[in-house]
Amino acid sequence: MVTCCALIAAFNEEERIADVVRGTAVHAAPVVVIDDGSTDRTASKAREAGAVVLEHGENRGKGCAIRTGLGFALAQPCSHVLFLDADLQHDPSEIPRLVSRAAQGSGDFVLGEREFRREAMPASRYHSNVIGSAILSRFIGTAVSDSQSGFRLIRASLLRQVQLTATGYEIETEMLIKLVRAGAALDRVTLRRLDYQCARSKMRPVRDTFRTCMLALRYRYLSPLKLRAY
């Protein structure tokens, strides 16, 4: 049986965080929001919607927020940790598709891949995602079409074994590379919807994709894989 603790890293998402929390709570418990130094009402809106809120006093980056959340999630009696973004890029109603795939035993790491349509998204984001994913597939060791998707479901026992160090958006790549190197079976689910009208990505497509690719070299070839014994 798959039981999920959900982690949502958030920075200045007061307009959307309540909808994300409520939609996620139907499928996962607890829902944990890591407020990464927001200057708006993100934390209070998340609490009102029923989330457990962990707060950073200042903005530290998505990687730091995810790692803070993992410290909480991996102490919970859950089989898997669910990750999704706070800006409604991901439709919480699609969570059962990832859970179903994990329940079938198809993957320790189920990646929700966005459908990239050139006419439906900004050109910089389209090209950075397509090119970046093609390059990163080589470093990861298996084909992926959306390496930077933050919508993912991962077996908790595997997350407990791998030491993560990323501070920014490269946390997505670090998880992929290190978990696959540690033996995680990767499965992929194509998402039906991605609303670019409401999703205002905080990534800088060209700069952040280049930085992620450089760090992927380190994660794959230059860093020894440190496994924790549990």
Please state, as a whole number, how many other Cβ atoms lie within 10 Å of the Cβ of residue 182: 16
Q: Which long-range contacts (CB under 8 A, 24 or more apart) does 172-175 make?
A: 172/147, 172/148, 172/212, 173/136, 173/139, 173/140, 173/147, 173/148, 173/212, 173/215, 173/216, 173/219, 174/63, 174/215, 174/219, 175/109
For the chain, the domains span 4-222
Rounded-to-integer distance, Cα 61 and Cα 65, Å:
6
Please state, as a whole number, how many other Cβ atoms lie within 10 Å of the Cβ of residue 1: 4
Q: What confidence score (pLDDT) does residue 158 get?
A: 94
Residue with tokens 């090119």: 131
| Contact predicate 220/180, CB 8 Å | no
Q: How many helices (H) and strands (E) does the chain have?
A: 8, 7
Q: What confidence score (pLDDT) does residue 128 get?
A: 60
- ∠ CA 72-77-83, rounded to 5°: 55
Helices (H), the chain: 17-25, 42-48, 62-73, 95-103, 123-140, 156-159, 171-181, 205-217
Q: What confidence score (pLDDT) does residue 169 get?
A: 86
Sequential pLDDT tens for the chain (230 residues): 999 999 999 999 999 999 999 999 999 999 999 999 999 999 999 999 999 999 999 999 999 999 999 999 999 999 999 999 999 989 999 999 999 999 998 789 999 987 655 554 555 555 566 666 666 666 666 777 777 789 999 999 999 999 999 998 889 888 988 898 888 999 999 987 555 555 555 555 556 666 666 666 665 555 655 555 33
Q: What confidence score (pLDDT) does residue 230 get?
A: 32
Instruction: State residue 80 phi and psi, 5-degree precision.
Output: -140, 155
Q: What confidence score (pLDDT) does residue 9 get?
A: 98
**Cβ contacts of 84 within 8 Å, gap of 6 or more:** 6, 8, 20, 24, 90, 92, 95, 112, 150, 151
Q: What confidence score (pLDDT) does residue 74 get?
A: 97
Which one, of 34, 41, 32, 33, lies nearest residue 12 by Cα? 41
Which one, of 212, 129, 224, 205, lies nearest residue 167 by Cα? 212
| Cross-strand partners of 4 | 80
Superfamily in which the 4-222 domain is placed by CATH: Spore Coat Polysaccharide Biosynthesis Protein SpsA; Chain A (3.90.550.10)
Q: What confidence score (pLDDT) does residue 135 get?
A: 67
Please state, as a whole number, how many other Cβ atoms lie within 10 Å of the Cβ of residue 42: 25
